[in-house]
Amino acid sequence: MSLNDNVNEVNSIVFPSEVPVLKLISSVSQKQVKDGEEIQKNHLNRLGANAESKIIDGSHLFYQTNVTDISDATSNFLKKIN
């Protein structure tokens, strides 16, 4: 299987819309990927009405240096869904 086949297969899977999702997105990778903003928007739409995103400043490895931002975003998201 190629990368495109894998992406297409994953994109065809229906995600349960009742599951709340917080998607943390790297600001750098979103800008560096061709059509990155559109790709993220489409992915959030596929995840359903209970999905939201937070852009974290940094590269793809933002989780190594932005612990406070991730923690704050997660705490705020959990407060909303409880």
Task: Report the distance separating Cα 46 and Cα 15, nearest Å.
Answer: 7
Q: 55 - beta bridge partners?
A: 25
Give the global pTM.
Answer: 0.77
Q: What is the pLDDT of residue 39?
A: 86
Q: What is the pLDDT of residue 80?
A: 93
Q: Give mean pLDDT in consecutive 10-residue pieces for the chain, a chain of 82 residues.
A: 81 87 89 84 89 92 92 96 86
The confidence score (pLDDT) of residue 66 equals: 93
Closest CA to 40 of 70, 32, 4, 75: 32
Cα(80)–Cα(82) distance, integer angstroms: 6
